[in-house]
Amino acid sequence: MLKTFPKGGVHPPENKLSANKKIEILPVPKQVSVPVSQHIGVPAKVTVNKKDVVKVGQIIAESGGFISANIHSPVSGTVFKIDEVTDTSGYKRQSVIINVNDDEWDEKIDRSEELIKDFDISSEEIIKKIQNAGIVGLGGATFPTHVKLMPPKGTKPEVLIINGVECEPYLTSDHILMLEKGEEMLVGIQILMKALKVDKAYIGIENNKPDAITHLTKLVKFYKGIVVTPVKVQYPQGGEKQLIKAVINREVPSGGLPIAVGAVVHNVGTAYAVYEAVQKNKPLFERVVTITGKSVKNPGNYLVRFGTAVSDLIEAAGGVPKNTGKIISGGPMMGKALNTTDVPVAKGTSGILIMPEEESKRRVIKPCIRCAKCVDVCPMGLEPFLLMTFGEKAMHKSMEKEDVLDCIECGSCSYACPSDRPILDYIRLGKNRVGAVIRARSTK
Amino acid sequence: MSKLIVSPSPHQLGSNSVKKLMYGVLFALIPTLFVSVFFFGLGAIIVILSAVISSVLFEYLITKFILKRESTVMDGSAALTGLLLAFNLPSNLPIWLVIIGAFVAIGIGKMSFGGLGNNPFNPALVGRVFLLISWPVQMTTWPKPSPFTEKMLGYTDVTTGATPLGQLAETMRNGESMSSLGEKVPDYMQMLIGNMGGSFGEIAGFALIIGLIYMLMKKIITWHIPVSIIGSVAIFTGILWLADPVNFADPLFHILTGGILLGAIFMATDYVTSPMSKRGMIIYGIGIGVLTIVIRIWGAFPEGVSFAILIMNALVPLINMYLKPKRFGEKVKKLK
Ligand code: SF4
Ligand code: SF4
C-alpha cells in the first residue's frame, strides 16, 4: 500500500502536459522589474540607486529583518528606476527596474556545470550562506529557508522531509528538476541535513512520476541517510502536514509547526537552490517555471530570471491562445488568477497556467444539499459547509470555535461540492477576520 | 486580449453535480423498479407513475407560483421523492391517495421548508406516514404478489393478504411460537427475490442490494448508514432470538421483511436529512436500527422503519452538533 494522508483529499485530472519537456533557458529580456518582496515576511530594503551599474547575482535589496530575504540582481545592466510595480499577487510593490546590458555575472559565482559533491563547512556557515543567497521556499510558500533551519528553542529536528510531491495538476517544474538535476539536489539535501544536524531525509514523490522515483532511488544509494518515499496520487499530498503524516506517520498538532513533531520540510527546488548557493556561490535569481494549459501551443519548463514579465514567458510558449479566460500564477487548485500578464516572475512563481474561457467561468451556485462531500474530502477534518454557513452570516466567533484557522486553503471542498458553492471564498474571508480578531486580542 | 477573469482559487471544479447524484440514485433504483412491476404488475406501474408525475408537477407549480423562483424540477430530486414515496406504498392504493401523498411529501415535507437542502424530514416518508395515519386501512391492505397471472392486470381489485411482518405481529399477539410463523410466510430465498406481500418497493431485497452496490461504487453514498442500520438490526434481533428463539424471530427474517433494506439503503441515506460526519452517520444508523425493532416488537405498528427514520431525522441537528469529524492534529490539540 502506498503511503498517503489519512483522511480526505480529491483527485483532480492531472493534466501534466509539460511532463517530458526538458528545461529550456528563456532569453534574458531587455528590462526586468524585480520586486523587493518576493517572500513571506518583511520586504527587503533597496541598496542600489538609479543609474547604478549592477552585475548578475549582485545584491540589490537587503533582507529587512529575521523573516525576510535578500534580493539579487537577475541581470546585468543599469538601474533604470525604483518604482511601484504590480506583482503576481495583484498588489503594487516596490521594485528595482533594471535595463539589461549584456550578461555579466558576479565573479564569485561558479558557472561551470561540474558537480561538486564534497563540502566541509559548519552548520552555521551553511545557514549563513543560504541566508545570504536569499533562498526561500520554492514550492510556492516563499517562506525564508534559513528561518526553517534555525528551529526555535526547546525543539529538536529529527528528520528532513523533501517535498517532491507536486500534487497541483499541470505543474511540472519540480518533476523536471528531479530528473535533470537529481544529483545536485541530493547534494543540496545533504547540505540541509548537515545544517539541521539530522541524519535522515525522506524525499516524498507522488506515484505519478515513476521516472523521477526510479532515477532518484538509483542515485540515493550513494548518499547516506536519504530515502525516496513514493506516495499515493491524492491532492493535497504536498500539503506540509499531509506529507509529514504520510511519510513518517506523525500528526502536526492543530496550530503547530512541523517542528513540533521533529520534522522540517523543504521543497525539491529549494534543495537545488541550496546546492547552487553553497557549492557554486550562486544566489537565487532564477528558477524553473512551468508554462502550461490545454490551449497553449508549446507547454514547457523554462529557466526564467526573476523580474521577467509573464508575457515574455507566454510568448516563448506560443503566445496567448485565442479564447483565453484566465491566466493563473501557480496551479489550478491554489494558484492566483492574474488580471494582467505584465507582472514579473518571482521566487514563488512555480508555473503559469492558461485556461480557456469555458473553463474559467464560475458555475451557477445551487443550494447546499448537505451531501457531506465537503466534509469527506477535507484533509484537515473540518466541516466546510458549516464554516461556509457561518461565513455567510459573518459569525466569526463560531468560525473560530470550529477551527477555521486549521484550514490549509487547499480548495478540496469547493472542488468536490456538487452544488458548486464557493465554500473556500467564505472560509478565506472568515480566516482573515478571525486572524485579525486574534491578533487584536493578543495585543490587548 | 480580452479581459481576464479574476477569481479566487480553486480554479478547477469537480464534475459532480446535484443532478448527477440524483439521477445516480434514480438509476440505482431501476432493478427494484423491475422487480416490483414483475410481482405487482399494473398496480405498481399506476402508483409509480402517479406518484412521480404529481411530485414533479407539485414542485414545479410551487416553485413557479408560490416561491416565484427558478424551477428546480430538472435536478431530479422531485422525481426521486416521488419514486421513493411510491415504493413505500401498497400497489393497490387509489390514485387520489397517491396524489395526496405526493402533495404532502413535496408541498409540506420539502417546499414549505424552502426546498431541497432545507427540509429536516425525509419528504417521501412525511408523505407516507401522513397517509398511514390518515388512511390506515387502505395503507395496510397489501396485495399478494402474483407474477405470471392475469391478476397482474388488476389494480385496486386484487387479492390481498398479510405481509410477513403482519404475520409476525399476529403470531406474537397470539402467543404462538415462531415455528408456526415459518409455515405461514415465504422462505428466505423467496423473500430475497421479492416474492412476498408489502409496499411494492421494499420487497425486492436482492434488487435493493444491487442498488446499494452501485451507489457505493459510484461514491454516491458511503457505507456508514446502511451498514450501521442493518448491522444494529442484526445484532439486536440476534440477541433476542438467541435468548428466546421460541418467541422472537431470527435476524434474517427481520432484515429481509418490511422496509429495512429500502429504508437503510435509500431512505435513511437521503443527504439532506442525514448527519454530516461519519461518526454521526453511524450513531444515526444504530438509532434507526434499534428504534425500528423496538417499534416492531413492542409498538402498535407491525412495521417501524419509517417512524424510526423520521425520529432520527429530528435528532440530526443534535448529532451534527456533538459528533464532529475527527480533526487533523486533534489528539495533540491543547498546545496553545
Ligand atoms: S459539498 Fe456542497 S452541497 Fe455538499 S454539504 Fe458541502 S457545501 Fe453542501
Ligand atoms: S476547509 Fe480548508 S482544508 Fe478543508 S477542504 Fe476546504 S480548503 Fe481544504
Q: Please work out whether the CB of residue A384 comes within 6 Å of at least one atom of ligand 2.
A: yes
Are B120 and B26 found together in one domain?
yes
The CATH architecture to which A1-22+108-361 belongs is: 3-Layer(aba) Sandwich (3.40)
* ipTM of predicted assembly, 2 dp: 0.88
Residue A357: list chain B partners with CB under 8 A.
5
- CB–CB contacts below 8 A, A to B: 171
Q: Please work out whether the CB of residue A419 comes within 6 Å of at least one atom of ligand 1.
A: yes
The DSSP secondary structure of A276-332, one letter per residue, reads HHHHH---S-EEEEEEE-TT-SS-EEEEEETT-BHHHHHHHTT-PPTTEEEEEES-T
pLDDT for the residue numbered B304? 87
Query: Please, which pLDDT band fits residue B2 given cuts at 50, 70 and 90?
Result: low
Task: Confirm if A161 and A197 have CB atoms less than 8 A apart.
Answer: no
Inside any domain, residue B300: yes
Residue A424 pLDDT > 80, yes or no?
A: yes
Are B35 and B133 found together in one domain?
yes
Which of A168, A375, A421, A424 to mutate for ligand 2's pocket (most ligand atoms within 8 Å of CB)?
A424
- Give the mean model confidence (pLDDT) for residues A338-344: 93
Task: Report helix, strand or coil for B162.
Answer: coil
Nearest one of A316, A77, A278 to A184, comparing CA atoms: A278
Instruction: Tell me if chain A has a CB within 8 Å of the CB of B214.
Output: no
Q: Three cell numbers at A45?
A: 530594503
The mean pLDDT value of chain A amounts to 93
Domain boundary among B139, B154, B182: B139
| pLDDT tens, residue by residue, B250-279 | 999 999 988 899 999 999 999 999 999 999
Nearest one of A133, A128, A131, A99 to A31, comparing CA atoms: A99
Are B168 and B303 found together in one domain?
yes
Are B83 and B191 found together in one domain?
no
Q: How many separate domains does chain B show?
A: 2
| pLDDT tens, residue by residue, A244-272 | 999 999 999 988 899 999 999 999 999 99
Instruction: Tell me if chain B has a CB within 8 Å of the CB of A12.
Output: yes
Task: Confirm if A412 and A330 have CB atoms less than 8 A apart.
Answer: no
CA B271 to chain centre: 12
Are B192 and B131 found together in one domain?
no
Helix (H) or strand (E) holding A163: strand A159-164
Residues linked to residue A351 through DSSP beta bridges, in sequence order: A290
Are B37 and B118 found together in one domain?
yes
Q: Please work out whether the CB of residue A370 comes within 6 Å of at least one atom of ligand 1.
A: yes
Q: Which atom from ligand 1 is nearest to the alpha carbon of A416? A: 1
| pLDDT tens, residue by residue, B68-120 | 888 778 889 999 999 999 999 998 899 999 999 999 999 999 999 988 889 99
Residue B332 pLDDT > 60, yes or no?
A: no
pLDDT for the residue numbered B147? 74
- Give the mean model confidence (pLDDT) for residues A76-86: 94
| pLDDT tens, residue by residue, A377-405 | 999 999 999 999 999 998 989 999 999 99
User: What residue owns the CA closest to ligand 2's atom 4?
Assistant: A378
Q: CA–CA separation, B195 vs B9, rounded Å?
A: 54
Are B108 and B171 found together in one domain?
no
Q: Which atom from ligand 2 is nearest to the alpha carbon of A384? A: 1
| pLDDT tens, residue by residue, A342-360 | 999 999 999 999 999 988 8
Q: CA–CA separation, A331 vs A312, rounded Å?
A: 19
Query: Please, which pLDDT band fits residue B1 given cuts at 50, 70 and 90?
Result: low
Instruction: Tell me if chain A has a CB within 8 Å of the CB of B21.
Output: yes
Are B285 and B173 found together in one domain?
yes
| pLDDT tens, residue by residue, A7-59 | 899 999 999 999 989 999 999 999 999 999 999 999 999 999 999 999 999 99
Long-range contact pairs involving A78-83 (C-beta distance under 8 Å, separation at least 24): A78/A51, A78/A52, A78/A53, A78/A54, A79/A48, A79/A49, A79/A50, A79/A51, A79/A52, A79/A53, A79/A54, A80/A31, A80/A50, A81/A50, A82/A46, A82/A48, A82/A49, A82/A50
- Give the mean model confidence (pLDDT) for residues A292-304: 95
Are B124 and B180 found together in one domain?
no
Residue B330 pLDDT > 80, yes or no?
A: no
Residue B222 pLDDT > 50, yes or no?
A: yes
Pairing of strands A31-35, A92-100: antiparallel
- What values do phi and psi take at A423, rounded to 5? -60, -45
Residue A416 pLDDT > 90, yes or no?
A: yes
pLDDT for the residue numbered B153? 73
Are B170 and B244 found together in one domain?
yes
pLDDT for the residue numbered A341? 92
Residue B335 pLDDT > 60, yes or no?
A: no
Q: Please work out whether the CB of residue A116 comes within 6 Å of at least one atom of ligand 1.
A: no
Q: Could you tell me the CA-to-CA distances from A204 to A82, A174, A229, A295, B271 in Å, in that order?
A: 41, 12, 5, 31, 37
Ligand 1 center–CA A90 separation, angstroms: 30
- Give the mean model confidence (pLDDT) for residues B283-290: 97
Query: Please, which pLDDT band fits residue B168 given cuts at 50, 70 and 90?
Result: confident
Residue A132 pLDDT > 70, yes or no?
A: yes
Task: Report helix, strand or coil for B156.
Answer: coil
The DSSP secondary structure of A385-421, one letter per residue, reads HHHHHHHHTT-HHHHHHTTGGG-----HHHHH-TT--
347-366 in A: which are within 8 Å (CB) of B?
353, 355, 357, 359-363, 366
Sequence ranges of the domains in chain A: 1-22+108-361, 373-442
pLDDT for the residue numbered A33? 95
| pLDDT tens, residue by residue, B178-196 | 877 877 788 888 888 888 8
Q: CA–CA separation, B207 vs B194, rounded Å?
A: 9
pLDDT for the residue numbered B334? 44
Nearest-Å Rg of the Cα atoms of chain B is 21
Inside any domain, residue B33: yes
Q: Please work out whether the CB of residue A368 comes within 6 Å of at least one atom of ligand 1.
A: yes
The mean pLDDT value of chain B amounts to 89
- Give the mean model confidence (pLDDT) for residues B128-141: 91
Inside any domain, residue B273: yes
Which of A235, A237, A373, A409 to mutate for ligand 2's pocket (most ligand atoms within 8 Å of CB)?
A409
Range of the domain at B227: 164-196+221-322
B10, A252: Cβ pair inside 8 Å?
A: no
Residue A324 pLDDT > 60, yes or no?
A: yes
Percent of chain B with pLDDT over 90: 57
Q: CA–CA separation, A47 vs A71, rounded Å?
A: 10
pLDDT for the residue numbered B333? 45
- Give the mean model confidence (pLDDT) for residues A149-167: 93
Are B181 and B300 found together in one domain?
yes
Residue B331 pLDDT > 90, yes or no?
A: no
Inside any domain, residue B150: no
Inside any domain, residue B254: yes
Task: Please name the residues in contact with A420: beta carbons below 8 A apart, sequence gap of 6 or more.
Answer: A362, A363, A364, A365, A366, B13, B17
Are B238 and B120 found together in one domain?
no
Instruction: Tell me if chain B has a CB within 8 Å of the CB of A101.
Output: no
Task: Report helix, strand or coil for B258.
Answer: coil
Residue A312 pLDDT > 60, yes or no?
A: yes
Residue B336 pLDDT > 50, yes or no?
A: no
Nearest-Å Rg of the Cα atoms of chain A is 21
